[in-house]
């Protein structure tokens, strides 16, 4: 097929020899099957912010920083330059996460290069060498549902041990390769220790897996792996080889009402300070 404009730079650099076909078009990117020498890979072309339906929620971008103070100020003020910087950080987040997770042994597509808003990585294939389907498009017998669910839980644990929470894990961003599930789509991945919403996102990711595979193996609906995983992680007891039970009993005891009210008061004070700062600071375009 004709080389799309956004892929021309990679062709010029010799990173891509030819474009085979468009594989998919999602809310944040378009993906193409490409040839690189003897290898068939995929090129993920990120859509510009004003052309995609997915918005960068503050929950995901919290704690993503830049070293340049000018860029930091521009991002805070929402200038045109600041929005470009924010967009670049959003795109590079997936690249950084993929390299970290691949090094940690997590089943993700191996990344190869990132240039001009295009991520070049392995193409995940099925037993026939075709592009692997999403697990959401596959029906599983109970035994396979249990097996794949257990496999993905191990990947979630391995990710968390590497300091990363996917943040948007579901049947729509897991591919069923010949040798098992592979996790994709990581631009919203968050730092487990540096993001205040990491626990909630981890619990949601695990609940999504439970809900999907529970359609085929209803016994999974009675499990509570998310709370168990986070409990072990918080206490420094989580390892990639940790055996999980799916059971978690919430500790009972007296509520520290004074401490709780202090946290609420502090949060309100921070919100009010931020509001006053926004009112004092003119917004530049």
Separation CA 130–CA 252 (nearest Å) = 51
| pTM of the predicted model over 0.85 | no
Contact 90, 96 (CB under 8 A): no
Separation CA 128–CA 267 (nearest Å) = 54
pLDDT at 89: 63
Contact 70, 60 (CB under 8 A): no
Tokens representing residue 89 in the block: 């950080």
> Which active-site residues does the annotation give?
168, 185
From the CB of residue 187, how many other CB atoms can be counted at a distance below 10 Å?
22
Separation CA 95–CA 74 (nearest Å) = 23
pLDDT at 267: 61
pLDDT at 99: 93
From the CB of residue 203, how many other CB atoms can be counted at a distance below 10 Å?
17
pLDDT at 56: 45
User: Can you list the domains of the chain with their CATH numbers?
Assistant: 5-234 (1.10.510.10)
pLDDT at 63: 53
By CB atoms closer than 10 A (0-12, 13-18, 19+), residue 4 is: middle
Separation CA 250–CA 59 (nearest Å) = 25
Q: What is the block-wise mean pLDDT of the chain (285 residues), using blocks of 10 residues?
A: 93 96 88 96 82 45 52 52 56 86 96 92 95 97 98 98 96 96 93 92 97 98 97 96 92 62 65 56 44
From the CB of residue 104, how many other CB atoms can be counted at a distance below 10 Å?
16
Tokens representing residue 135 in the block: 């697990």
pLDDT at 261: 67
Contact 110, 122 (CB under 8 A): yes
């Amino acid at each position: 097929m004709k080389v799309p404009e956004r892929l021309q730079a990679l062709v010029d650099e010799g990173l891509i020899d030819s474009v085979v076909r468009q594989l998919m078009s999602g809310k944040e990117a378009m993906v193409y099957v490409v040839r690189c020498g003897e290898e068939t890979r995929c090129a993920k072309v990120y859509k510009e912010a004003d052309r995609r339906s997915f918005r960068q929620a503050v929950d995901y971008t919290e704690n993503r920083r830049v070293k340049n103070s000018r860029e930091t100020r521009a991002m805070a003020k929402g200038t045109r330059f600041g929005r470009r910087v924010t967009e670049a950080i959003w795109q590079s987040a997936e690249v950084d996460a993929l390299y970290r997770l691949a090094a940690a042994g997590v089943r993700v597509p191996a990344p190869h290069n990132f240039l001009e808003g295009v991520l070049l990585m392995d193409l995940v294939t099925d037993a026939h060498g075709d592009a692997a389907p999403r697990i959401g498009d596959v029906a599983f017998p109970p035994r396979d549902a249990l097996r794949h669910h257990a496999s993905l839980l191990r990947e979630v644990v391995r990710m968390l041990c590497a300091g990363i929470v996917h943040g948007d894990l579901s049947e729509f961003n897991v591919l069923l390769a010949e040798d098992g599930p592979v996790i994709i789509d990581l631009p919203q991945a968050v730092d487990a220790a540096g993001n205040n919403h990491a626990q909630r996102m981890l619990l949601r990711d695990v609940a999504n897996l439970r809900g999907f595979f529970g359609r085929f193996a209803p016994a999974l609906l009675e499990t509570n792996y998310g709370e168990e995983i986070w409990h072990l992680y918080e206490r420094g007891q989580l390892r990639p080889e940790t055996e999980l039970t799916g059971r978690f009993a919430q500790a009972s005891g007296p509520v520290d009402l004074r401490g709780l009210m202090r946290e609420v008061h502090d949060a309100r004070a921070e919100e009010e300070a931020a509001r006053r700062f926004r009112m004092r600071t003119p917004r530049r375009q």
